[in-house]
């Protein structure tokens, strides 16, 4: 009896045996991968929130302010009605947003000021030779985009001027021919971006100017024409770090005081 030849199975035809517990390890790996993805998302969003908060605080020192929000349709309507009333409102392309309002020395009624509040992108408020009152000044306080405020001949008080404190984008403040005194200057000093201040024909004194200069190292031009200031003001301004121009015609300063200021700080141009 002939023995049958042995049979051989090719290694290529064999099915690989599954390692013990292989399915369990695959499940564990999959779960770990999912957890890593979820954890990564949580870390990302938390970090984004932190960056956003920190960025907000850092930007507060000098970053450009957020664009003011408002109703363009109401703005356009207010623009047209103010011009119909004889005031001069100016709009600029391309979107015809209103950049300035000049009352041209005409009285301002409360209805007109309500229209002004619709000019949410207004940059210049010019009330020269207009008797704006404390109560009317409240309407101006909401114009957050203002960079120039002109109040000449206004019937405002020291306390009433506190209403301009929210206008932190102001770069130039002209409050002239008004009865305000030294107490009002604290409200101007609270404005961080003001570079030009005109206080001509007011009741400010040497002490008030000294306080203002110390509180506003960013000032570049101060106008004090026809104010009751003396050489003491010049001494207070001699060491100001940013001042480049000073207007003091019609005051009680002396030629000697002006000469000393020029010698101590030749950077300052003096109008007298």
- How many domains is the chain partitioned into structurally? 1
Contacts of 119 (CB under 8 A, 6+ apart): 75, 78, 79, 89, 98, 101, 143
- pLDDT at position 177 is 98
Does any domain span residue 41? no
Q: Is residue 147 part of a domain?
A: yes
Q: Does 225 fall in a domain?
A: yes
How far is residue 237's CA from residue 243's CA, in Å, rounded to a whole number?
A: 8
pLDDT digits (tens, 9 = 90+) for 80-113: 999 999 999 999 999 899 999 999 999 999 999 9
Q: Report the length, in residues, of the chain.
A: 272
Distance CA 12, CA 55 (A): 63
Within a domain: residue 237?
yes
CB atoms near residue 122 (< 10 Å): 28
* In-domain check, residue 42: no
Are 225 and 251 a contacting pair, CB within 8 Å?
yes
In order of 153, 237, 239, 254, the CA distances from 244 in angstroms are 27, 10, 11, 20
The Cα 41–Cα 163 span in angstroms is 46
Kindly state whether residue 35 falls inside one of the protein's structural domains: no
Residues 161-210 have pLDDT tens digits of 999 999 999 999 999 999 999 999 999 999 999 999 999 999 999 999 99
Look up the pTM and report it.
Answer: 0.75
Residue 199 lies in a domain: yes
Q: Does residue 54 fall inside a structural domain? A: no
Residue range of the domain that includes 198: 72-271
Give the CATH number, domain containing residue 227. Answer: 3.80.10.10
Confidence band for 66, pLDDT divided at 50, 70 and 90? low
* Average pLDDT score over the chain: 84
CB 129 within 8 A of CB 104: no
């Amino acid at each position: 009896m002939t023995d049958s030849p042995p049979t051989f199975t090719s290694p290529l035809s064999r099915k690989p045996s599954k390692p013990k517990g292989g399915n369990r390890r695959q499940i564990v790996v999959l779960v770990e991968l999912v957890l890593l993805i979820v954890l990564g998302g949580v870390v990302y969003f938390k970090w984004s929130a932190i960056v956003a908060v920190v960025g907000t605080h850092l930007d507060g020192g000098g970053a450009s302010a957020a664009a003011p929000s408002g109703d363009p349709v109401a703005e356009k309507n207010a623009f047209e009605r103010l011009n119909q009333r004889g005031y001069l409102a100016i709009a600029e392309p391309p979107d015809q947003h209103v950049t300035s309002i000049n009352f041209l020395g005409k009285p301002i009624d409360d209805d007109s000021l309500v229209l002004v509040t619709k000019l949410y992108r207004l940059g210049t408020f010019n009330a020269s030779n207009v008797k704006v009152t404390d109560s009317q000044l409240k309407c101006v306080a909401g114009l957050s985009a203002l960079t120039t405020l002109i109040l000449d001949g206004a019937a405002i008080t020291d306390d009433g001027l506190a209403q301009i404190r929210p206008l932190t984008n102001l770069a130039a403040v002209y409050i002239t021919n008004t009865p305000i005194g030294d107490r009002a200057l604290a409200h101007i000093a609270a404005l961080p971006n003001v570079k030009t201040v005109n206080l001509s024909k007011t009741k400010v004194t040497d002490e008030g100017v000294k306080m203002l200069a110390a509180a506003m190292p960013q000032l570049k031009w101060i106008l004090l024409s026809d104010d009751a200031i003396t050489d003491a003001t010049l001494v207070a301004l001699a060491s100001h770090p940013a001042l480049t121009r000073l207007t003091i015609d019609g005051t009680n300063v002396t030629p000697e005081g002006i000469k000393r200021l020029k010698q101590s700080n030749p950077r300052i141009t003096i109008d007298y």
